[in-house]
Structure 1
Amino acid sequence: MKTKRVILLGATGSIGTSTLDVISSFPDRFRIVGLSAHTNTDQLLQIARKHPEAKTALSGISKADGAEEIDIFGKNAAVELIDSVQADIVVNGIMGSGGLAPSASAISAGMDLALANKETIVMAGDLLLPEARNKGVNVLPVDSEHAAVFQLLKNRPHSEISDIILTASGGAFRTTPLEQLDNVSVQEALNHPTWKMGVKITIDSASMANKGLEVIEAERFFDMNTDKVSVLIHPQSYVHSLVRTCDGILYAQISAPDMKNPIINALSFPETLVSNFAPLDLTGKSLDFYEPDFRRYPMLKLAFQASRKSASYPTAYNAANEAAVDAFIHNRISYLQIPEIVETVLQQDWSEAPIDLQGVFDVDSRVRSAAEKLLAV
């Protein structure tokens, strides 16, 4: 197999650093030709020095603020990077809705897409996945849950699949008494029991908004009815997802909670490379599962509702949550006001489905305006 040329978006984040570790383990198989970050100039330059042929991009600052060694600056830097570099695969580790435009550019350019940005599918999966199929582009999930489902569905016809079950750790407040949730702090929400991730996604894990987004993503990515996707709390985080076939049998993907596993599977697709990233010995370990309580996780309930309604409701769910979480981080609202804001926004009419990406961005903008009016009260 030839050496794959890789563009890594979000190189300084958790997915980015794990991807760099994976690529360093297979220097003959992968070569980094592009690197992007948001504002972390120093860390991006440190990474770039180890990959001197890679073009660099910063999306969160202007050229006047940054180092001369950076090649591309500005809001559209990641898109410009993709447009200016020849690559075989783009790893999109950008957080939030800002990852959508780069995903669309990668598909348009005919590059395979290793996707950790779930918002791409939540907001525009109905538009981008058909385009990827038409272009022969592989869109490969990197989220551990969807990567697990992807592996479990290999060589299985869609007609054999009855259900998809996504697992969740339960986040920082899995055992916190319900009456205490209104007074929890941002720092407490960031105390994730299993994964080390960025601020926003860790808070989303506490509220299970992140799992809600993954429900919507699974429904679209794997062409499943929303009622055929469910969630189980699994505190140990060893079982990353399960599928049930039409004969009632469950199949699980089990591995250590290490993002290097789904990353190497996406990068090497359609091959499976020999690797030894955190092998799991089940001896002496227990596996517990239980249903999530919607009183504790109202954001999960709202996600199922948005997924069933489809149209622009998933985009509205994501944008309202992003606005509300940002307000929580900046101490403008309490933790339990996050689902209150999102629910109020979703009560508005988002029944018109966008016909193109600009339509998606327009909905996203209108939702944020609606959320901000609520936050200003």
Structure 2
Amino acid sequence: MKKVLVLGSTGSIGTNAIKIAENMPQDFQICGLQAHSASSKEKLKALGSKYNCPTLLTCEDNSEAVFQKLIEQSKPDIVVNGIAGASGLLPSKIVLENKIDLALANKETIVMAGPLIKALSAKTGAKLLPVDSEHSAIFNLVNQCGRKNIAKIVITASGGPFREYTAEQLKNVTLEQALNHPTWKMGKKITIDSSTLANKGLEVIEAAYLFDAKADEIQVVVHPQSLIHSLVQTKDGMLYAQISDPDMKHPIFGALTYPENKETYLEPFSLFDKTMTFFRPSTEVFPLLDYAFECVRKGLGYTIAFNAANEVAVGAFLEQKIGYLDIAKTVRAVLDKDFTHAPETFDAVFETDTKARSLAKELLKESL
């Protein structure tokens, strides 16, 4: 039986991870739960009581000592990191330093510090298991096909609620419209990112670091039904896909049970009565995706800046301080600054992140 610590336990990833453990009591035991804001305290207590889990943490300070104590008290075999945003990086680092396997849904961990995180995983022997549906699919396909045989990684995108909008139509997009995703039920920040294609940009960066891929070895295809979660193209030109219903329990299940291929209680996928369509993404209308590819080419300092500027801008949009198109404008303005120095330590990563956030905030202040 695996003991599971869930970070971000009141969010969508955490909730689904807990449901899997609940349905597989012979395989998993929830040994610790964490929520990332004080507002979730009562919900966290209720979860702890329901699952007989005494080790709980509600934290807003995100300190290393706090997370280290949580790990020491809960003694997990695997940690699910479902924390949203850059604040998920430090916990990921601590988990791997403690030689504990990491089921990673926090894409910012890799976007901000991919090379450092991968080196840490290799050093300690702790497994790094991607939980994003796209990267979980790529992970499985790479393991089956062999990385040396793969010529291209193809990441699918739903296209969000504005897939068929023109740039002119996007000028009048409201917060309510942007939060209405047609396929996935997610948190507010990632839902906005999906609508701007920033989330797909983050996934491009994540794939580049996780699978040692260059920018021209990664492709994005819009697939509104979200049934194919990603594909790989082998050197002979053949495409291999992972297909399942758009339910995050599938990639979480895969990470928790790895390296076994366990029988699941989840509904098997059926091709009957399904339609699949594919389109090129419109980067003229949604430039954040192009910016992400640019950052992959330029290096780590720029990928950190991309994430930081986007987080600040999306936060301002959620507070209805800026318009929808101002998100991409803010990211572009930050990326036009100098981030050529690639951080070689985690401290340097956080310094670069702080620098980019400060620039974004200053730019927004000037425009308001």
Fold in common (TM above 0.5): yes
Pair 1:191 & 2:158 matched: no
Q: Contact 2:215/2:297 (CA < 8 Å) preserved in 1? A: yes
Within the candidate set 53, 62, 73, 1:75 is matched to 62
Corresponding position of 1:18 = 16
Q: Contact 2:301/2:343 (CA < 8 Å) preserved in 1? A: yes
Q: Contact 2:113/2:300 (CA < 8 Å) preserved in 1? A: no
> In structure 2, what is the Cα distance between the partners aligned to 1:311 and 1:41?
35
1:221 to 1:54, Cα distance in 2 relative to 1, 3 A: farther
Corresponding position of 1:101 = 90
Q: Contact 2:62/2:87 (CA < 8 Å) preserved in 1? A: no
- Identical-residue share of aligned pairs (%): 47
Runs of 4+ in 1 over 6 A off after TM superposition: none
> In structure 1, what is the Cα distance between the partners aligned to 2:97 and 2:354?
23
1:42-61 counterparts in 2 under 5 A?
42-60=42-60
Q: CA deviation at 1:277?
A: 1.8
Q: Contact 1:83/1:105 (CA < 8 Å) preserved in 2? A: no
Deviations 1:348-370 (A, max 9, x none): 11011111100000000011110
Pair 1:253 & 2:236 matched: no
Q: CA deviation at 1:176?
A: 2.6
Helix, strand or coil: the match of 2:300? coil
Q: Contact 1:104/1:128 (CA < 8 Å) preserved in 2? A: yes
Q: CA deviation at 1:87?
A: 1.2
> In structure 2, what is the Cα distance between the partners aligned to 1:311 and 1:193?
32
Deviations 1:16-59 (A, max 9, x none): 11111111111011111110002211211111012224410011
Helix, strand or coil: the match of 1:140? strand
Q: CA deviation at 1:194?
A: 0.3
Q: Contact 2:131/2:251 (CA < 8 Å) preserved in 1? A: yes
1:141-180 counterparts in 2 under 5 A?
141-180=130-169
1:54 to 1:221, Cα distance in 2 relative to 1, 3 A: farther
Q: CA deviation at 1:79?
A: 4.5
Corresponding position of 1:70 = none
Q: What is the one-letter code of the residue matched to 1:33?
A: C
Specify every segment of 5 or more residues in structure 2 that has no aligned partner in the other structure, as ranges. none
Q: Could you tell which deviates more after superposition, 169-178 or 292-301?
A: 169-178
Q: CA deviation at 1:177?
A: 3.5
Corresponding position of 1:69 = none
Corresponding position of 2:35 = 37
Q: Contact 2:317/2:324 (CA < 8 Å) preserved in 1? A: yes
1:79 to 1:193, Cα distance in 2 relative to 1, 3 A: farther
- The two structures have a TM-score, normalised by structure 2, of 0.96
Corresponding position of 1:214 = 203
> In structure 1, what is the Cα distance between the partners aligned to 2:196 and 2:300?
24
How many residue pairs were aligned? 362
Q: CA deviation at 1:281?
A: 1.7
Q: Contact 2:85/2:108 (CA < 8 Å) preserved in 1? A: yes
Helix, strand or coil: the match of 1:6? strand
Deviations 1:264-321 (A, max 9, x none): 1100111011013232221122110111001221110111101110131000000000
Deviations 1:82-129 (A, max 9, x none): 244311100000000000000000000000000000000010111110
> In structure 2, what is the Cα distance between the partners aligned to 1:53 and 1:15?
18
Pair 1:223 & 2:212 matched: yes
> In structure 2, what is the Cα distance between the partners aligned to 1:374 and 1:86?
44
1:276 to 1:175, Cα distance in 2 relative to 1, 3 A: farther
Pair 1:309 & 2:301 matched: no
Q: What is the one-letter code of the residue matched to 1:28?
A: Q
Helix, strand or coil: the match of 1:154? helix
Pair 1:235 & 2:224 matched: yes
1:344 to 1:83, Cα distance in 2 relative to 1, 3 A: farther
Q: Could you tell which deviates more after superposition, 335-344 or 150-159?
A: 150-159
Helix, strand or coil: the match of 1:215? helix
Q: CA-atom RMSD, angstroms?
A: 1.1
> In structure 1, what is the Cα distance between the partners aligned to 2:54 and 2:342?
38
- The two structures have a TM-score, normalised by structure 1, of 0.94
Helix, strand or coil: the match of 2:171? helix
Pair 1:365 & 2:349 matched: no
